[in-house]
Amino acid sequence: MSKVRERILEVASELFYQKGIQSVGVDAIITQADVARMSFYRHFKSKEGLVLAFLERRDEQLRDWFEAEVIRLAPDPKDRPLAVFDLLAMRFATQDYRGCAFINTMAEYPNRADLVYQASAKHKALFQEYLARLLRDAGFSLEHAADLLLLFDGAVVSAVREGSVEPAFRAKRMVARILDIPMPPRLKPPSKLQALSRP
């Protein structure tokens, strides 16, 4: 990836997440990235193309981060389905957290036929597959993956509304009940918790 394309994508990602996609115009991105308009359109044919690139990179970053950090937080595979929610609480505690970029995007692009909506929905499907793998490796039924995603997304929305980490732990208690296992203590972040690339 060229340095110019990377700079445009980094600036756009920050602005889209913090302000919303619809409220950020191409001019604002060009100005903040300090690139020529011709350079912008050389790398991205349209704002939609930039949005799709943002979502693709965000999907990869988020899933890679959860996969790596859940393993570090919970070395025993049996503990990982619940550890997802401890890690989610750590995300809620970050200063610039403003919810799930994909949920926010689907709210801005509610037409299910829209490529932007579909890219966001694809992330949720892939994340559910990740949760299913955690359940399988822990010896639980894969049928609960949709339940875990429902509680994950619900915790995200509640955390934005409440400005608190507690929704993650309420969701964790519900998952423990679904899986019929004792509620473990809250996990502390590892000493070198890898920061998720902003936004």
Q: Distance (Å, rounded) from C-alpha 67 to C-alpha 63?
A: 6
pLDDT for res 87 = 95
Q: Is the pLDDT of residue 139 over 80?
A: yes
pLDDT for res 171 = 97
Q: Distance (Å, rounded) from C-alpha 163 to C-alpha 157?
A: 10
Mind listing the pLDDT tens digit for each residue in 144-163? Answer: 999 999 999 999 999 999 99
Q: Distance (Å, rounded) from C-alpha 109 to C-alpha 115?
A: 9
pLDDT for res 1 = 64
Mind listing the pLDDT tens digit for each residue in 104-121? Answer: 999 999 999 999 999 999
117-154 b/e with 16+ CB inside 10 Å = b? bebbeebbeebbebbbebbeebebeeebbebbbebbbe
Mind listing the pLDDT tens digit for each residue in 11-25? Answer: 999 999 999 999 999
**Domains of the chain, CATH where assigned:** 58-179 (1.10.357.10)
pLDDT for res 196 = 56
Q: Is the pLDDT of residue 92 over 60?
A: yes
pLDDT for res 95 = 87
C-beta of residue 81 within 8 angstroms of C-beta of residue 131: yes
pLDDT for res 175 = 97
At residue 96 the predicted structure's pLDDT band, cuts being 50, 70 and 90, is: confident
Q: Is the pLDDT of residue 190 over 60?
A: no
Mean pLDDT of the chain: 92
